[in-house]
Structure 1
């Protein structure tokens, strides 16, 4: 385990690349072969209207996650490793749940509007099936990256960043409702998972002296 930690510290980008290769391979296999045995639904889902304009915060998720990782990698390796540990652990837990209990949704309505927002939603739906949804990785990662930002020393005195991160995380979570990408049940369990793994947002998995060394180099 210690050798693995040292390798991760010495090769952070390779570590992330290996993880993402494993994650996307696993997820793609589930998307292709897993047949839902549990359909997720709540009465509250039926009361939430579809709104294609929420595609904007939904897509901002990709920029936010990637941008924060790049910033942490350059400015704070400690936060970078916290984010990796928190998010990657949760993502693996979600994949295990999808594997053991394949689940899906039947919430997506027919898109009748013809505007750029509707076309973007249709594009997202075409590449992201309504399976493997509970817990929502989209929501979990939003919670995780926001939590790491709130704990980050890099943003310790930047209240505007803290507030903006909270607002963006909330908007992204709401977008999954209004785009019918997820049920409120998916979001609830993503929040539960985020709470369970919360200590990983600030408790380092690596030797403090080595982390300090990398933080000095990064600065």
Structure 2
């Protein structure tokens, strides 16, 4: 039983995420110099409150997907989690040295979706925007799934639909602008590549030693 429990100990590395997220609250306030990356595209992007649902599903989605990757491929799990942690560090450094903000709509309508959007607006300051952590982490789950060959087609389609729903929700609920999304995807690609460059050769060496 103890041996079986030890098999799941690597899941504890996921605790790096809430530890790193401490810096989110520290940095999520107005500094001396705050920029806006809003473009004409953002002005033409509609506010769609229904997208608050995938936006809120983000956190359990990330946790569940990391567990799925752990069960299916340790190598992909470690690579994705390392890329995520490095990405968070990159985000927080950017927030510190180059703070951006977003202009959010005033919610006057009533209803479930509007109430949920208001809840997010009141609990999450309009800073820490570029790059988007929602987009960074969701895109990394897409990268992890694409690297995990032993997942069913249905699972892959579900993750793709859910991941991209979360990604686009960031602009439709006016929590981010399009450049926040683009920057996060670029950062995710870089960190996933870097994590693979560091981890994959070591995995190959370990396999040869076992053989």
TM-score by length of 2: 0.84
2:80–2:192 contact (8 Å) kept in structure 1: no
1:77–1:211 contact (8 Å) kept in structure 2: no
- Please show how residues 83-102 of structure 1 align to structure 2 within 5 Å: 83-102=80-99
- Please show how residues 16-95 of structure 1 align to structure 2 within 5 Å: 16-21=14-19, 23-32=20-29, 34-95=31-92
Find 2:186's aligned residue among 180, 188, 192: 192
Alpha-carbon distance in structure 2 between the residues aligned to 1:66 and 1:174: 19
1:105 CA drift (Å): 1.1
1:144–1:201 contact (8 Å) kept in structure 2: no
Q: Is the alpha carbon distance of 1:201 and 1:171 closer, same or farther for their aligned partners in structure 2, counting shifts above 3 Å? A: farther
TM-score by length of 1: 0.81
Paired position in structure 2 for 1:172: 166
Paired position in structure 2 for 1:161: 155
Q: Is the alpha carbon distance of 1:141 and 1:19 closer, same or farther for their aligned partners in structure 2, counting shifts above 3 Å? A: closer
Unpaired runs of at least 5, structure 1:
1-8, 213-219
Q: Does 1:104 align with 2:101?
A: yes
CA RMSD in angstroms, aligned pairs only: 2.5
2:29–2:125 contact (8 Å) kept in structure 1: no
1:72 CA drift (Å): 2.7
1:195 CA drift (Å): 2.6
Unpaired runs of at least 5, structure 2:
1-6
Paired position in structure 1 for 2:125: 129
Q: Is the alpha carbon distance of 1:190 and 1:208 closer, same or farther for their aligned partners in structure 2, counting shifts above 3 Å? A: same
Q: Is the alpha carbon distance of 1:175 and 1:27 closer, same or farther for their aligned partners in structure 2, counting shifts above 3 Å? A: same
1:14 CA drift (Å): 4.4
Paired position in structure 2 for 1:216: none
Paired position in structure 2 for 1:208: 203
Paired position in structure 2 for 1:5: none
Paired position in structure 1 for 2:137: 141
